[in-house]
Amino acid sequence: MAAVYTDFTSLVQSFQGNLAPALVYEQEGAPKSISYDELYNKIHQCREYTPGDVQILVTHPAPETIIRILAAVCSGCDLILCDEKVPEEITSSLKDRIQSSHAGMPARQEGRLYFFTSGTSQRSRSVVLTPQSLLLSTAGGQAMLPCSEKDRILCILPLSHVFGFVCGMLWGFYGGAQVAVDRGARHLMDDCLFYKPTILPCVPTIIQALLRFNMLNPELKTVLVGAAPCPASIVHQLQDKKIQVYLGYGLTETSSGIAISQDQENPSLLYPCPGASLRIEPDGEISVVTRALMQGYFGEPDPTVEEPDPDHPGQTVRRLFTGDLGSLDDQGRLTITGRKKDILVLPDGTKVFCPEYEEALSETLGTSELAIAQKNGRPVLIIESSVEADVVLLAVTQFNRDRARGLQIAEVIYTNEALPRTAVGKLRRWQLQQWIDDGAPARRMRDTFYSTTSEHDQMLREQWI
- CATH of residue 328's domain is 3.40.50.12780
Same domain, 271 and 405: no
How distant, in Å, are the alpha carbons of 399, 401, 408 from that of 464?
10, 8, 8
Mean model confidence pLDDT for the chain: 88
Is 3 within the bounds of a domain? Answer: no
Whether residue 352 is predicted with pLDDT greater than 70 in this model: the reply is yes
Euclidean distance between CA atoms 133 and 285, whole angstroms: 23
235 with 155, same domain? yes
The stretch 171-196 carries a mean pLDDT of 96
324 and 429 inside one domain: no
Residue 375 placed within a domain: yes
Tell me the C-alpha distance between 33 and 178, whole Å. 9
Is it the case that residue 463 has pLDDT exceeding 50?
no
pLDDT beyond 90 at 235: yes
Q: Do both 186 and 318 map to the same domain?
A: yes
Q: Do residues 315 and 444 both lie within one domain?
A: no
313 CB-near residues (< 8 Å, 6+ apart): none
Name the band, by pLDDT with cuts 50, 70 and 90, for residue 31.
Answer: very high
Which domain, by its residues, includes 255?
8-335
| Whether residue 296 sits in one domain with residue 181 | yes
Mean per-residue pLDDT, 343-359: 82
pLDDT band of residue 407 (cuts 50, 70, 90) is confident
Q: Give the pLDDT confidence score for residue 249 in this predicted structure.
A: 95
> Are residues 130 and 187 in contact, defined by beta-carbon separation less than 8 angstroms?
no
- For 176: left if phi > 0, alpha if psi spans -120 to 50, otherwise beta; the answer is left
**Which of 92-96, 184-188, 303-307, 458-462 is the least confident region?**
458-462
Q: How far apart are CA 100 and CA 409, in angstroms?
A: 49
Same domain, 457 and 317: no
What's phi and psi for 424, nearest 5 deg?
-105, 15
Mutual angle of helices 204-212 and 232-240, in 10-degree steps: 50
- Please identify, among 335, 359, 381, the residue that sits at the C-terminal boundary of a domain: 335
Same domain flag for 179 and 308: yes
Check if the beta carbon of residue 106 is closer than 8 Å to that of residue 132.
Answer: no
Listed residues 335, 367, 383: the one ending a domain: 335
Mean pLDDT of 127-144: 96
What is d(CA 415, CA 387) in angstroms, rounded to the nearest whole number? 10
Greater pLDDT, 187 or 439 = 187
In terms of Cα–Cα distance, which of 234, 247, 275, 426 is closest to 335?
Answer: 247
CATH code at 406?
A: 3.30.300.30
Residues 6+ apart with CB under 8 A from 287: 278, 279, 280, 281, 319, 320, 321, 322
371 and 291 housed in the same domain: no
> Do 426 and 322 fall within a single domain?
no
**What pLDDT was estimated at residue 38?**
98
Cβ within 8 Å of residue 88, ≥6 positions away: none
Q: What is the largest CA-CA distance in the chain?
A: 77
**Rounded to two decimals, what is the model's pTM?**
0.82
Count of domains observed in the chain: 2
